[in-house]
Chain A
Amino acid sequence: MKVIELKNVSFKYDEEYVVKNVSFSIEKGSYTTIIGHNGSGKSTIAKLIMGLLEKEKGQIFVDGLELNLENLYKIREKIGIVFQNPDNQFIGSTVRDDIAFGLENHCIPHEQMDPLILKFAEKVGMLNYLDSEPTKLSGGQKQRVAIAGVLAMYFNVIIFDEATSMLDPQGKKEINELIEEIHREKNITIVSITHDIEEAVKSDYVIVMDKGKVAMEGKPEEILLREKELIQMQLDIPFTLKFKNELKKQGVNVETNLKMEGMVDALCQLNLNK
């Protein structure tokens, strides 16, 4: 079942089209990554889906509802977004108030709010900062708070627009694991706009944007081994592909596997210098 569907959507800033005739759909319960270089139209797509920008042409459906003025607020109850720079998203004067704000807007009864705030502040590792001012936190801590706020609302769909870009690798790993956990347990659809090719490797479905269009889409193993096209679109290639290329250069032929574990197994079978 499709939870998000775009049909021939276009959008322009001034005279320039940044999204051109884009159609794709996202399966309910999937973990979809959208990759593409800066300026390829990824973030614009997210804002169009949220109704933060108005499309020029085409149709957008969220959970069966067409995005229009009449449905806008119904749609925003189903879908949440975390932006890259959460500074633009903070409202509360403390971390606690900020998480509470979204819950209040969703008419969560007061007695249910506190446990939710505590639960998600703990999950993102910000329990000790509930009374801190969001603006005084570090970039990565702000991202943690913004993510807690959105997770606590249990939307059907959450869009993460490079929402962990300022986290340290370990923190990023923890937050990504948390997002995966919520995704699995609550069957929440995740749309992650990311530059992290390794995150795309682990996702269910990959959409590649280039110059405002969908350049490729499919399962990771169908998309992420297409080295020439990825490089042409100024994207990174998976580490395992780089490894395979170096092996080949030095005369060792081994089948490419997107996962590191798969490469290790393949190398074990070659029985090199054990």
Chain B
Amino acid sequence: MPIEFKQVSHEYSPNTPFAYKALNEIDLELAEGKITAIVGATGSGKTTIVQHLNALLLPTQGEIVVVDKTIKSTEKPKNLKALRKQVGLVFQFPEYQLFEETILKDVAFGPKNFGVSEEDAQEKAKEALKMVGLDETFYERSPLDLSGGQKRRVAIAGILAMDPQVLVLDEPTAGLDPQGAKQMMGLFEMLNKKHGKTILVVTHDMEHVLDYCDEVVVVERGKIAMHVSKEEFFEDASLMVKANINPPAIIRMRTMLQEKGFAIPNTVLSLEALVKALKKGVA
């Protein structure tokens, strides 16, 4: 069940003075069951790409095959509801969309909207809250009383309650403190490994890409500049330079040490491996 973009273009406000082509004939194939990072400069088109995945935006040209549905410029997919159930999209700052009186009601809103009975919706909401690490003491609390990280978990639970196969997250760790961000990425890793969700995450945090993702898609001025495995991406520092990406600290350190003459192979991607490589050759 791959996701495929075929020659997709998107122009905002066409035929107006504000017209702006955000995507330009992109081709992209995303494999099932992986965590893929979408990276690139601000304004490169990352958010525009992900908003096509559940037909929130329609391509102005080309088509997208998601799950078993086709999204085209000329026609909405026949069963938009089913598509949105299978592809859960979490926006930037999703916590601004919380609105119900209690956390349980907020999370149950999604499935209820898809025609699930009140009782079943509550069950699904409880399961989803458990997945994001919020226990029953949270059910009756107001979502507005929570910390930023917890609110975001509630918002993500609201999407998970619809049991999507594909989870798309637009900068899910922006504004979280480092530990909150790590827990959030750990949550996606768990959803991927344990629940088999295909995960697409738009992120600027190269440390997270290195620690949690399988593949990297680089978007550049509305085009796909690169689509490689994480290892390939971080082994070849020139790829990052080419993509105008500031490498993670470990890679910068690796490069600095190499420049000083230390024999460190490019396959070194962790601190443990870096120190091992440094020690090699010492009697």
- Residues of chain A touching chain B, judged by Cβ–Cβ distance below 8 Å, are 36-39, 84-85, 131-133, 136-141, 143-144, 162, 165-173, 195, 197-198, 234-236, 239, 242-243, 246-247, 249-252, 260-261, 263-264, 267-268, 272-274
Contacts and interface: CB of A to CB of B under 8 A. Distances in A.
Contact of B274 (A136, A140, A171, A246): A246
Report, as a range, how many residues of chain B touch the other chain.
Answer: 35 or more
Given A166-B92, A173-B246, A250 B279 contact: yes
A260 B175 contact: no
Can you list the 10 inter-chain pairs with the closest CB atoms, starting with the nearest?
A140-B42, A273-B281, A169-B246, A236-B178, A239-B249, A37-B177, A246-B271, A234-B179, A168-B204, A138-B43
Interface string B80-106: 000000000000110000000000000
Contacts of B179: 37, 234-236
Interface of B: 12-13, 17-18, 20, 39-43, 47, 92-93, 147-149, 171, 174-181, 204-206, 244-246, 249-250, 252-253, 256-257, 260-263, 271-272, 274-282
B43 A38 contact: no
B260 A139 contact: no
A247 B279 CA distance: 9
Given A139-B174, A246-B272, A170 B41 contact: yes
B42 A264 contact: no
Nearest to A142: B42
12 contacts: A36-B177, A132-B18, A138-B47, A167-B42, A195-B176, A235-B179, A239-B250, A243-B275, A263-B253, A264-B256, A273-B278, A274-B263
A250 B12 contact: no
A92 B276 CA distance: 56
Contact of A272 (B147, B181, B253, B279): B279
A36 B179 CA distance: 11
Given A168-B39, A168-B40, A273-B280, A39 B18 contact: no
A212 B275 CA distance: 39
Contacts of A144: 42
A170 B243 CA distance: 10
A272 B280 CA distance: 8
Given A141-B42, A170-B41, 8 more contacts: A132-B18, A138-B43, A166-B171, A243-B271, A252-B278, A264-B256, A267-B262, A274-B260
